[in-house]
C-alpha cells in the first residue's frame, strides 16, 4: 500500500518536472531561433554598410586633457588634408585607394601636429575593419557593428576615441542642429540602396522609432543567446 501511495504521489511530480523541462527546452530553442534570425539581420546590415562606408577613427594616447586636445587637433588636420581628395570620389573603391595612397602622409601630418603640441608620441594609421557602437549624426544613425575605417592610433592608444563617416564625407558637415544637409544625404543615397538608407535615416521620427528599437533588440538578443549557450554548456 505504501509503495502504491508513493507511486501515485511521485507520478504527478515527475510529470510536472518533465513538463517544466520541456517548457525550458522549447523556450531556449525559441530564444536561439529568434536571436539567430535577428543576429543574421544585424550581420547582414553590418556587411552591407561596411562595404559602402568608410569611417574615421582617432584614438588618443590617454584621457588626460592634453592628450584629448591633441586627438582633436590631429583629427582636424587629417580631415583638412583629406577633404578635397575624398570630395572628388563617387565610389568607395576610389576613396579606399586615395586613403591607402596617402597613408604615409596622414601619419606624417599627424606626427607633425603631435610635435607642435609638445609631445613625441608615435602615431600609426591603417585602413581595416573595426567594431563601432551605435552612433547618431544629427538625423542619421549607424547601427553598431564592424565597419571599414581609417584608424589613427596616437601613442599608447588608451584614451577616449573619436569617429565619423569619412566616405561619403559626413565628417565635414555640422550636424549639431539635429539634421544632416540634404546634399550629404544625397551622397549617402548614391552609395546605399533604398532599404539600406531607410535603416539609417531618422528624419521621420515616428517611422524610425522601430529602427532604434531594432538596434537595441539586436544587442539584447546577442546577449540572450550568449547566456543560453552558457546554460547549455553547464
Assigned domain for 79 exists:
yes
Burial class (CB within 10 angstroms; exposed 0-12, middle 13-18, buried 19+) of 103? middle
Residue 39 is predicted with a pLDDT of 44
Please list the rounded mean pLDDT of every run of 10 residues in the chain (234 residues). Answer: 50 55 56 45 56 91 95 93 81 90 95 95 94 82 87 94 83 62 82 82 56 50 50 48
CA 57 from centroid of its chain's CA atoms = 12
Assigned domain for 58 exists:
yes
CA distance 159 to 58: 10
Residue 40 is predicted with a pLDDT of 41
Per-position b or e across 199-228, b if 16+ CB within 10 A of its CB:
bbbbeeeeebeeeeebbebbbebeeebeeb
Residue 83 is predicted with a pLDDT of 84
Structural domain harbouring 67: 48-210
Assigned domain for 42 exists:
no
Q: Which residues pair with 137 in a beta bridge?
A: 140
Residue 114 is predicted with a pLDDT of 96
Is the bond into 180 cis (omega within 30 degrees of 0)? no
Assigned domain for 40 exists:
no
**pTM, whole model, 2 decimals?**
0.67
CA distance 200 to 88: 24
Assigned domain for 7 exists:
no
CB atoms within 10 A of CB 109: 19
Which of 141, 142, 146, 148 is closest to 131 using CA atoms? 146
For the chain, the distance separating the N- and C-terminal CA atoms, rounded to the nearest angstrom, is 40
Assigned domain for 94 exists:
yes
Assigned domain for 63 exists:
yes
Assigned domain for 97 exists:
yes
Number of independent structural domains in the chain? 1
Amino acid at each position: 500500500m505504501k509503495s502504491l501511495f508513493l507511486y501515485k504521489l511521485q507520478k504527478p511530480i515527475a510529470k510536472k518536472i518533465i513538463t517544466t523541462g520541456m517548457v525550458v527546452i522549447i523556450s531556449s530553442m525559441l530564444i536561439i531561433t529568434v536571436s539567430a534570425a535577428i543576429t543574421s539581420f544585424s550581420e547582414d546590415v553590418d556587411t552591407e554598410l561596411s562595404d559602402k562606408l568608410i569611417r574615421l577613427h582617432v584614438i588618443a594616447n590617454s584621457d588626460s586633457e592634453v592628450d584629448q586636445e591633441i586627438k582633436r587637433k590631429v583629427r582636424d588636420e587629417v580631415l583638412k588634408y583629406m577633404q578635397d581628395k575624398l570630395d572628388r570620389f563617387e565610389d568607395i573603391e576610389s576613396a579606399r585607394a586615395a586613403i591607402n595612397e596617402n597613408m604615409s602622409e596622414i601619419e606624417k601630418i599627424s606626427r607633425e601636429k603631435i610635435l607642435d603640441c609638445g609631445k613625441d608620441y608615435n602615431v600609426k594609421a591603417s585602413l581595416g575593419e573595426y567594431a563601432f557602437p551605435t552612433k547618431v549624426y544629427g538625423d542619421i544613425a549607424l547601427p553598431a557593428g564592424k565597419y571599414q575605417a581609417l584608424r589613427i592610433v596616437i601613442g599608447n592608444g588608451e584614451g577616449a576615441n573619436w569617429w565619423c563617416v569619412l566616405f561619403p564625407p559626413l565628417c565635414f558637415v555640422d550636424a549639431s542642429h539635429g539634421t544632416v544637409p540634404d546634399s550629404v544625404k544625397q551622397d549617402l543615397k548614391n552609395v546605399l540602396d533604398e532599404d539600406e538608407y531607410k535603416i539609417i535615416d531618422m528624419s521621420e521620427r515616428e517611422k524610425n522609432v522601430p529602427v532604434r528599437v531594432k538596434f537595441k533588440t539586436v544587442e539584447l538578443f546577442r546577449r540572450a543567446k550568449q547566456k543560453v549557450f552558457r546554460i547549455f554548456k553547464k
